[in-house]
């Protein structure tokens, strides 16, 4: 085999190895990094400062209260109780988090996205209509595809990372679900709130053009947020 051919093969193998190396987040290099608000701490990982390992206790990995229903007396009839790194410091660097979602009858967890996490949802009580929408297709003549399912107690559904999704209680009684997320801090963007309730507001000219409606419709929608 000629040297030039060997060189090209080596470059190709290195490129392949590099693509594999950067295919996922790097693994943590310590057992844990309990987040702490301490300006004198020295180690800064995943947006949080690490607590001195000698000062860590079992309480740093403990959260209580997910047995308590959330208050659904609001405009959408649902309540999300989060257990991210902001509520449970021991989650820092571990790449997971959890939420409890309570739904009143006809309650909705509005269309939203998690920019940093895939979500797996399990229904423990009630009946939910759930779904997600794909990203824009490569063919501009095609539409975003909607995947939906009716879920009952014990059913599980997955929402891929970054895609718009929702849950709606179609039953006549309350519903409860728990969801695991593949990030210590998955983030959430509620579509309607972000588009119509930003501060400062998005220009009505922009939204009128984007939604192809009268400017008074946009004015009304912005007033709701």
The answer to whether 119 is annotated as binding is yes
All residues at 6 or more sequence positions from 79 whose CB lies less than 8 Å from its CB, including other chains: 69, 70, 71, 72, 101, 102
Q: From CA 176, how far away is CA 127, in angstroms rounded?
A: 9
Q: Which two tokens stand for residue 28?
A: 């943590």
The answer to whether 152 is annotated as binding is no
Q: Which two tokens stand for residue 32?
A: 């844990």
46 and 147 Cβ atoms separated by less than 8 Å: no
Q: From CA 170, how far away is CA 173, in angstroms rounded?
A: 9
The answer to whether 71 is annotated as binding is no
110 and 192 Cβ atoms separated by less than 8 Å: yes
Instruction: Please report, in range form, the residues annotated as the binding site for oxalate.
Output: 109, 114, 119
Instruction: Please report, in range form, the residues annotated as the binding site.
Output: 109, 112, 114, 119, 165
Instruction: Please report, in range form, the residues annotated as the binding site for Mn(2+).
Output: 112, 114, 119, 165
């Amino acid at each position: 085999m000629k040297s030039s051919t060997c060189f090209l093969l080596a470059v190709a193998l290195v490129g392949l190895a590099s693509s594999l190396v950067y295919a996922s987040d790097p693994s943590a290099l310590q057992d844990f990094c309990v987040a702490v608000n301490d300006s004198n701490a020295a180690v800064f990982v995943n947006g949080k400062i690490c607590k001195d390992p000698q000062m860590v206790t079992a309480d740093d990995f403990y959260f209580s209260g997910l047995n308590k229903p959330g208050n659904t007396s609001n405009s959408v009839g649902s309540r999300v109780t989060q257990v991210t790194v902001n509520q449970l410091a021991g989650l820092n660097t571990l790449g997971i988090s959890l939420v409890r979602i309570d739904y009143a009858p006809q309650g909705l967890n509005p269309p939203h996205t998690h920019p940093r996490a895939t979500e797996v949802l399990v229904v423990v009580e009630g009946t939910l209509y759930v779904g997600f929408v794909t990203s824009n297709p490569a063919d501009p003549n095609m539409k975003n595809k909607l995947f939906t399912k009716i879920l009952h107690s014990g059913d599980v559904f997955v929402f891929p990372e970054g895609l718009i999704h929702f849950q709606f209680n179609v039953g006549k009684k309350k519903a409860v679900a728990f969801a695991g997320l593949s990030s210590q801090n998955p983030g959430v963007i509620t579509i309607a709130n972000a588009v119509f309730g930003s501060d400062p507001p998005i220009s009505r000219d922009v939204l009128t053009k984007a939604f192809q409606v009268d400017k008074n419709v946009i004015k009304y929608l912005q007033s709701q947020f």
